[in-house]
Structure 1
């Protein structure tokens, strides 16, 4: 059987969360991180207020489709002098990576100097502790690997890519989550469906074939930017080496709620969960306005990412 080019199937009741589901006044909800915690599905939502500034709110579910959103925001921009200048305009686009009993949350701190990658953590989804502002500006789309490699924490991020610039996915290492270095370009945009910039979407998953992660590619068109999704495989022992990727997109905006919104023509996964039956479930922001969920067999995504040798340019 031929593996389909677009393997993801949308949930029949998409979008699963809109601004109407948030129990307080807001503009939109989108780009939610995801994990399993104590037999529940957890979404960490980016909620944008009417002032245009974003914060993070928790939602819980028994089935992964119908969520109960908490009455109040969980993480607001910090008033700590170390963080306040860099979170003054909001905190955005979280991702969750579990390492042992700790859930690390990477997010974008946005302030007057531009966006920075930041890291926080929790063990109970009650208390939240900021760890570090991990990058300088302009940088976002940070995702952590779920285990250390050669004693190092490893992170994918996306410096640049603003103001019409091209943007590449980079990889960096840290001994302590605070001091990051040994950075190098991992994947860059190319002519075609991702001709403008790339960014990591979901944290890497360890598979027998390599570290699998989803990334978003942006194409500039005559009517604006178009955000779609690809997948890539990295070497398990040396994640700086790309061993396969999808030369075409495997998920893109098709439905009205993905085509129309505050930022049209966007699907932007930030959350994923691998189910016991091998289904990869992704939670994605649609048109920067709502959240959808889609599913595909994990093995099919791995197969698609394994088809092409690592020829994607890094310069």
Structure 2
């Protein structure tokens, strides 16, 4: 049994206009004892920007900006930039987030060398309608039928695209390629390219034609992640493989419940799932996780490692930011007791 310690709320909303509604879903980059936290800051009216604060150690906030670090700059993100994640690859920070225009939610990227100036790369996931996706992906009849269930948004002013969120880069290249996870519901998929300029319409046409090959994990069974999944924090390189902390969702009579989950991916081929916890790593139990803007949510998006203690940072009920911790050794041991034998990738 894994012992998870919850440390409570570490960041709340303020009176500042850009974050007077809520703060949630933080990205974490660790430099020794210093943590850089980039978080989703929401103002009244559900308009999101990215805020910044600095921590000394895993829990002490020592610095916090009074203005956003990232704000919307294009039509694709006219209603907000949401849920950042961060890694550093070969000296450059890769910061992914969801660009939201009120209808479409699509993964986007900015890069930086100093977290002060940023180069915008725009949307890096496919810009496809659901029908375009379906025509290609349904060529493989082994795909989970949930991929073909779509909630259509009707808006006569904006093009409606397939939602593609939770874009998370691996913290280093794999076999000379950039690798990132993304989420087209209900599963988690993988992209590997030598150059991000390869992510063209033609690339995604081929990708969707062979979509099954790119799925890392789909929902399994009737459990905490039976509804859908999403990549959480950037994968952590360990001696046993890539440790992935992600979120699972299932539907109940009281609505969706979001929990934290864990899996282990092969170090050279992240499409191969080595192990996957049968039970959630932790679930909403505390008042600040059960009641908020969206009830019953723990949404992990960042981690930091201090000795053997892995700290997991998450949005709680879409209202505040909290932290939990677990022994990395215990977690890996538990995962190895839950090896996957039926994954086809």
Q: In structure 1, list runs of 5 or more residues that go unmatched.
A: 79-83, 161-166
C-alpha distance in structure 2 between counterparts of 1:265 and 1:283, whole Å: 16
| Greater percentage in helix | 2
Question: In the alignment, which residue of structure 2 is the partner of 1:263?
Answer: 294
Distance 1:93 1:312, change over 3 A: farther
Question: In the alignment, which residue of structure 2 is the partner of 1:139?
Answer: 164
C-alpha distance in structure 2 between counterparts of 1:19 and 1:115, whole Å: 24
Question: In the alignment, which residue of structure 1 is the partner of 2:147?
Answer: none
Question: In the alignment, which residue of structure 2 is the partner of 1:172?
Answer: 191
Q: Is 2:66 aligned against 1:71?
A: yes
Aligned mate of 2:258, from 209, 215, 227: 227
Question: In the alignment, which residue of structure 1 is the partner of 2:340?
Answer: 310
The alignment's TM-score, normalised by the length of structure 2, stands at: 0.81
Aligned mate of 1:212, from 243, 249, 257: 243
Offset of residue 211 of structure 1 = 0.8
C-alpha distance in structure 1 between counterparts of 2:246 and 2:228, whole Å: 10
Offset of residue 94 of structure 1 = 0.6
- Within-5 A mapping of 1:108-119: 108-119=98-109
Which structure: larger Rg? Answer: 2
Offset of residue 75 of structure 1 = 0.3
Aligned mate of 1:20, from 2, 9, 14: 14
Q: Is 2:86 aligned against 1:61?
A: no
C-alpha distance in structure 1 between counterparts of 2:10 and 2:286, whole Å: 14
C-alpha distance in structure 2 between counterparts of 1:311 and 1:141, whole Å: 26
Is the CA contact 1:284–1:292 (under 8 Å) kept in the aligned structure 2? yes
Is the CA contact 2:260–2:283 (under 8 Å) kept in the aligned structure 1? yes
Give CA deviations for 1:223-273 in whole Å, capped at 9, x if unaligned: 000000111111111111111110110111110000000000000011111
Q: In structure 2, list runs of 5 or more residues that go unmatched.
A: 127-161
- Give the paired residue count: 297
Q: Is 2:89 aligned against 1:99?
A: yes
The alignment's TM-score, normalised by the length of structure 1, stands at: 0.89
Secondary structure of 2:176's counterpart equals: coil
Offset of residue 297 of structure 1 = 1.0
Give CA deviations for 1:56-76 in whole Å, capped at 9, x if unaligned: 011012233232220101100
- Within-5 A mapping of 1:229-244: 229-244=260-275
C-alpha distance in structure 1 between counterparts of 2:241 and 2:56, whole Å: 31
